[in-house]
Every structure is written in structure tokens, then in C-alpha cells.
Amino acid sequence: MHGALSDPTRRAIMARLALGEASVNEISAPFAISQPAISQHLKVLENAGLIVRRVDGTRRPCRIAPLALSELDQWLAALRRTMDQNYTRLDALLAEDMYAKETP
């Protein structure tokens, strides 16, 4: 899932969809890339389970998948915990090193 968000265009698409459901044309309007390129990005997001599409006549509006954000939040929380642990270990090592240098 997080690999799908490695591209800045896909992150921008997700930001747009956070405002509400939108068609491919509505999504592609602010971008300087083609509608088929946007469709490819949407396909990546859909395959990652981040967005869903529904059929509305000839339109296929997209929206953020209901569980996508909670799964992303869980992944980010795990990443934050890991980073906090790493910083805590680094702080301890730096404090230990400073103490060793101050002690004859």
C-alpha cells in the first residue's frame, strides 16, 4: 500500500479525493499530464486498495476506500514507534559517549 503513495502525483490525487468523490476528468484537470496517465495512477491506487470506483452511467467516480486511511494510519504509527525507539537508542549512546569523554 505505502508503495502506491511513493509517487507525488498519487499523493496529490489522494489529497484531492480527501475532499470528496471525483471523476477521472475532475481529478486530471489540475495536472499537467494526460488523462490516460492519471487513469494509470488511479489503477495503482485502486490495486493497492486505497481508492474504490463505482459505475454511474458512463462515469466511474473515485473515492477513498473506507478502510484505506485506517490501515495507512496503522502503518504510520508503526513507523513512528520504530523511529522513536531509534532516537531513544541514539540519545542513550550520545549521552554515554559524552559521559565517557567527561570522565577521566
Is the whole-model pTM more than 0.75? no
Alpha-carbon dihedral sign for residues 87, 89, 94, 95: positive
Q: What is the mean pLDDT of the chain?
A: 90
- 56: its cell numbers: 454511474
CA dist 63 and 45 (Å) reads 10
> Which residue from 51, 47, 50 is spatially nearest to 61, judged by alpha carbons?
51
Q: What is the pLDDT of residue 1?
A: 59
20-66 pLDDT tens trace: 999 999 999 999 999 999 999 999 999 999 999 999 888 899 999 98
Q: What is the pLDDT of residue 2?
A: 63
Q: What is the pLDDT of residue 29?
A: 94
Domain boundaries, the chain: 1-65, 67-104
CATH architecture of the domain with residue range 1-65: Orthogonal Bundle (1.10)
CA dist 89 and 94 (Å) reads 9
DSSP string, 21-49: -B-HHHHHTTSSS-HHHHHHHHHHHHHTT
Q: What is the mean pLDDT of residues 87-94?
A: 90
